[in-house]
Chain A
Amino acid sequence: MSVDPIVRVVEVRKVFGLVPVLDGVSLEIRGGEAVALLGANGAGKTTLLKILATLLRPTRGTATIAGHDVARAPEAVRPLLGVVAHGAWVYDDLTARENLRFWSTLGGLHTGADELTAALAGVGLERAADARVRTFSAGMKRRLSLARVMLARPRVLLLDEPFAGLDQRAKKWLEERLEALKAGGAALLMVTHSFGRELGVADRLAILAGGRIALETPRGSLGPDDIQRLYAVHAEEAS
């Protein structure tokens, strides 16, 4: 685990029109570390994720990834990122395999056919590999997205509800992949509104409420019930 944080968010504010969604968020994530960001729907977790993903600019404050400002130097940040957000990044008329190959090539990777098959097998899509994505369920599309991101082996992983819609086998696979990425020095941010499997992977928890980080704590030996209690308390306080 490296000493300097790769992801640094400093007093970020984001206002949409007149509505402040983020009101002074500060957070740090080191390499090899995973942070789970908890928050209710509408609390601003996706907004923060999008800012780190260089898809939105903060109104005030700065966010840097590996020393590059996400607002001023997005092109320096983008090659380091792996993002799985709400949209699945899939072309309905291509097969799963073709989708993976396309995104892999666009990302500048040289992925061999075997590696593609292995990635599809990992998310349990090996039998549907050559079927058009149009026929996939939402969960299958989500799994394809995860396979896409894992192929790239990014340095910073930004995930929105990563475990949602996955069966047990896929959850186990994802857990293993995320732990492997952490071991390789990647920084992970997982954003969620539930108290699921993310917590197993997370080293630290942060609760987003009232536009700010209401609580930040190492996960340690906290169980899901403890976390749920903490969340209820702090979300209550903030609103």
Chain B
Amino acid sequence: MSYARRALAIAWKDLAVERRSKETLNALVFFSLLLLFVFQFTLGSDRERLAAVLPGVLWLGFVLSALLALGRTFLVEREHDCWEGLLLAPGDKSAIYLGKLVGNLALMLLVEALVLGLFVVFFDIDLGRALPGLLVVVLLGTLGLAAVGTLFAAMTANIRARELLFPVLLLPVQVPVLLATVKATEGLLQGEPLGAVAHWVKLLVAADTIYVVLSLLTFDVVLEG
């Protein structure tokens, strides 16, 4: 089916370009390390305080990385007018959105795994039984961020003040995802089972569904010109 081929072509292209240039990946890794140091210096070694703010701090790290990654997602298109090429591509443009989304998800999840790993090592956290539930929450939360982020990145790709407008538009809309992921992470890290934070998980599933469906329906409109 042509739709799936085109979406895959976009995803492949993004990952191939990233794998070879490593521009975004390097920036994200470096940025994550920097965040780690900043958190260590500002939060100090007060273990109790750290345990209390950890979920928020972790997701702050994820969100800032997401802003960086998603803000750059159409950067490669703006060189050499490849953006025109996307505009003029025939057929359903939502295939392009899907491909971009998959590429962004892969990149973001990779960096989040790295950040989580660094946190566990440097802050001596025991994930233990929380890990499976945490993985679910991280996956759902990242999908939420990436879903709207990819759409808004396309909208702001060719606008002046893009770097400012992108986070300003994305963050308020993502508040439900932020609240849900932080609260669910908090519950899980305190040893509660996934069922105890089920309402947050359901909210995430609802949000993700709305965001992805809406983006698939409206991406064509954004890529009209």
A touches B (Cβ under 8 A): yes
**Main SS class of interface, A:** loop
Asked whether any CB of chain B lies closer than 8 Å to the CB of A20, the reply is no
Assess the B16–A98 pair: CB atoms within 8 A.
Answer: yes
Contact for A55 among B2, B21, B87, CB less than 8 A:
B87
Assess the B80–A93 pair: CB atoms within 8 A.
Answer: no
Q: Please measure, in the bound complex, the distance between the C-alpha atom of A103 and the C-alpha atom of B81, giving whole angstroms.
A: 13
Contacting residues of chain A (54-106) with chain B, CB-CB under 8 angstroms: 54-55, 57, 74-75, 78-79, 81, 83, 85-94, 98, 102-103, 105-106
Q: Please measure, in the bound complex, the distance between the C-alpha atom of A57 and the C-alpha atom of B225, giving whole angstroms.
A: 9
Which residue of chain A has its CB nearest to the CB of B95? A106
Q: Give the residues in chain B near A107, CB-CB below 8 Å.
A: 89-90
Count of chain B residues near A, Cβ 8 A? 27
Assess the B80–A90 pair: CB atoms within 8 A.
Answer: yes
Contacting residues of chain B (120-161) with chain A, CB-CB under 8 angstroms: none
Q: Give the residues in chain A near B9, CB-CB below 8 Å.
A: 102, 105-106
Asked whether any CB of chain A lies closer than 8 Å to the CB of B85, the reply is yes
Assess the B81–A102 pair: CB atoms within 8 A.
Answer: no
Assess the B2–A108 pair: CB atoms within 8 A.
Answer: yes
Q: Please measure, in the bound complex, the distance between the C-alpha atom of A93 and the C-alpha atom of B6, giving whole angstroms.
A: 19
Q: Please measure, in the bound complex, the distance between the C-alpha atom of A107 and the C-alpha atom of B10, giving whole angstroms.
A: 12
Contacting residues of chain B (89-108) with chain A, CB-CB under 8 angstroms: 89-91, 96
Assess the A108–B90 pair: CB atoms within 8 A.
Answer: yes
Assess the B80–A87 pair: CB atoms within 8 A.
Answer: yes
Assess the B80–A91 pair: CB atoms within 8 A.
Answer: yes
Q: Please measure, in the bound complex, the distance between the C-alpha atom of A132 and the C-alpha atom of B80, giving whole angstroms.
A: 14
Which residue of chain A has its CB nearest to the CB of B3? A108
Assess the A89–B90 pair: CB atoms within 8 A.
Answer: no
Given contacts A93-B20, A106-B10, contact A87 B81 (CB under 8 A): yes
Asked whether any CB of chain B lies closer than 8 Å to the CB of A120, the reply is no
Assess the B81–A79 pair: CB atoms within 8 A.
Answer: no
Contact for A102 among B13, B79, B224, CB less than 8 A:
B13
Contact for B76 among A74, A91, A108, CB less than 8 A:
A91
Assess the A90–B82 pair: CB atoms within 8 A.
Answer: yes
Assess the A94–B17 pair: CB atoms within 8 A.
Answer: yes
Interface residues of A (CB under 8 A from B): 53-55, 57, 74-75, 78-79, 81, 83, 85-94, 98, 102-103, 105-108, 132, 141
Other A-B contacts than A54-B225, A78-B88, A91-B82, 20 sampled, CB-CB below 8 A, are: A53-B84, A54-B87, A55-B225, A74-B224, A75-B224, A78-B89, A86-B81, A88-B80, A90-B80, A90-B82, A91-B76, A92-B21, A92-B79, A94-B13, A94-B17, A98-B13, A106-B85, A106-B86, A106-B89, A108-B91
Interface residues of B (CB under 8 A from A): 2, 5-6, 9-10, 13, 16-17, 20-21, 76, 79-82, 84-91, 96, 220, 224-225
6 contacts between A and B (CB under 8 A): A75-B224, A85-B84, A92-B21, A94-B20, A105-B5, A106-B85
